[in-house]
Amino acid sequence: MKTAYTADQIRGAEHALMATLPEGTLMQRAATGLAAVCADLLGRVYGRRVVLLVGSGDNGGDALYAGERLARRGAWVGAVLAGSKTHEAGLRALLDAGGRVVDRAAIGGADLIIDGLVGIGVSGALREPYARLAEEANAARGTTVAVDVPSGVDASSGRVEGAAVRARVTVTMGAYKTGLLVDPGASVAGAVELVDIGLGAYLPDPDVAALTGGDVDLLMPRPGKESDKYRRGVLGIAAGSDLFTGAAVLAVGGALRGGAGMVRYAGRQAPVAQVRSHWPEAVVTLLDEPSIDHVGRVQAWVLGPGMGTDDWAHELAARVLASTVPVLIDADGLTLVANDRSLLRRAAPVLITPHAGELARLIRADRDDIEAARLDHARRAAAELGVTVLLKGSTTVVAEDARPVRVNVTGTSWLATGGTGDVLSGVTGALLAQGLSCYDAASCGAYLHGLAGRLAADGAPLTAADVATAVPAAIRAVTSAGS
């Protein structure tokens, strides 16, 4: 599992470790790792032009010492001193190695730019001259490497307020920072390289975690010798309407591909006909009234995709939520509970899967604020509503009260197309029906859905049906790697 930490957590671990080491040891370890990554990116170090953007803090010192190492290997290294003060020992080491102080005009001709402007202790918008230097680095032809976090990214949240360095690679020291895994920070961090400086024993419980394929493999339900379709998990799906028949088809498809032993679909006439046509494996119940009395026993429900928001849909939602099994609520189901939050008063677990706009309606917040601070709002919703939250978007996050937020690292921008959320609901619902908790089902469902999207897209546009078709391949990729 990839774990990440806030700036305060990292600083606490650093202070504890520094108390056991000679002064300057951590900076030398960081600079050595940084220089090694930069040398690999340059390929041939001798004669290459490297520009350091040096701020007042320790990141500036890391950049200067890394620049010293590159200069000793024959690189031309120039330092743009942007801060009100400069790490004196680091600057002296650079100059002794043949480096020099330059003005910002050197940025445009650099093969490599090392961003050491600000570190994890700075939040909010970059001030001048840092903001201008960030923009000039972004416009330059050279490769940019950020030290610890790209300048302009809040290390604890991923917020970006104003200008920020767009790095090809971020070399982060000691442990991953939360802001490197969560957009918008993650989108400007590039590839993240972790340098071990010895913090491990001093780190607290993580702020954020990201599942790996191995983690998903360990959590995935597997049928045993005594399994039958009932023991493998029966999922009920209440979705679709005369207007949105496709939502029902896609949710059922995601559930069947996600490993449910049986899928019971309940809906009105038009979506029932479509589900029967596409998925003869599903057990279908035509609802003449908004009741689930004749659907049969299930281990979990998916509620909401394309079902509408009229009185009929509200009554069906109330019946499903009055059951005693876990319920995943998506799409129109979220609109219904946003209008009537009393529907969420139940003893059994609830998993909601909103995008930012749907979450905004649920917790009476501004959509743009949610996009800018996804972690904060997902945590708030989990605590306020008493549910598990899978917040969809450029970074999918899973929040449950009093547990580390999980961040999904799979996926592709091609998944931003109609119907893929319905497939996600089906896949995740299937995992709920097979016995995973809301927290684990949401985390594994997001991982598999994102991986299926990558496999289906392969660099080209896809449809939601393509994603559903690729889910077994995603499961196979995860479970085969772990076996």
Q: Is 483 annotated as a binding residue?
A: no
Q: Is 121 annotated as a binding residue?
A: yes
Q: Is 480 annotated as a binding residue?
A: no
Q: Is 143 annotated as a binding residue?
A: no
What is the distance of C-alpha 374 from the center of its chain? Answer: 10
Q: Is 443 annotated as a binding residue?
A: no
Q: Is 421 annotated as a binding residue?
A: yes
Q: Is 58 annotated as a binding residue?
A: yes
Q: Is 306 annotated as a binding residue?
A: yes
Residue 172, phi then psi, degrees to nearest 5:
-105, 145
Q: Is 125 annotated as a binding residue?
A: yes
Whether the CB-CB separation of 436 and 406 falls below 8 Å is answered with no
Q: Is 60 annotated as a binding residue?
A: yes
Task: List C-alpha distances in Å: 192 to 112, 167, 189, 235, 358.
Answer: 16, 10, 7, 39, 31
Cβ-proximal residues to 142 (8 Å cutoff; 6+ apart), any chain: 49, 51, 107, 109, 110, 111, 112, 113
* Cα–Cα distance, 136 to 364 (Å, whole number): 39
Q: Is 119 annotated as a binding residue?
A: yes
Cβ-proximal residues to 321 (8 Å cutoff; 6+ apart), any chain: 303, 327, 343, 344, 346, 350
Q: Is 426 annotated as a binding residue?
A: no
Q: Is 59 annotated as a binding residue?
A: yes
DSSP symbol at 152: T
* Cα–Cα distance, 248 to 422 (Å, whole number): 8
Q: Is 5 annotated as a binding residue?
A: no
Q: Sheet containing 388-391: give its strands across.
A: 176-177, 2-5, 208-210, 405-407, 397-399, 388-391, 350-352, 327-329, 300-303, 234-238, 262-267, 283-286
Q: Say how many residues make up the chain.
A: 483
* Cα–Cα distance, 67 to 192 (Å, whole number): 20
Residue 101, phi then psi, degrees to nearest 5:
-95, 130
Q: Is 288 annotated as a binding residue?
A: no
Q: Is 293 annotated as a binding residue?
A: no
Q: Give helix then strand counts, H and E, for the chain.
A: 17, 19
Q: Is 214 annotated as a binding residue?
A: no
Q: Is 130 annotated as a binding residue?
A: yes
Q: Is 437 annotated as a binding residue?
A: no
Largest CA distance in the chain: 84
Q: Is 463 annotated as a binding residue?
A: no
Binding site listing:
58-62, 115, 119-125, 130, 148, 151, 247, 306, 355, 392-396, 421-422
Binding site listing for (6S)-NADPHX:
58-62, 119-125, 130, 148, 247, 306, 355, 422
Binding site listing for K(+):
59, 115, 151
Binding site listing for AMP:
392-396, 421
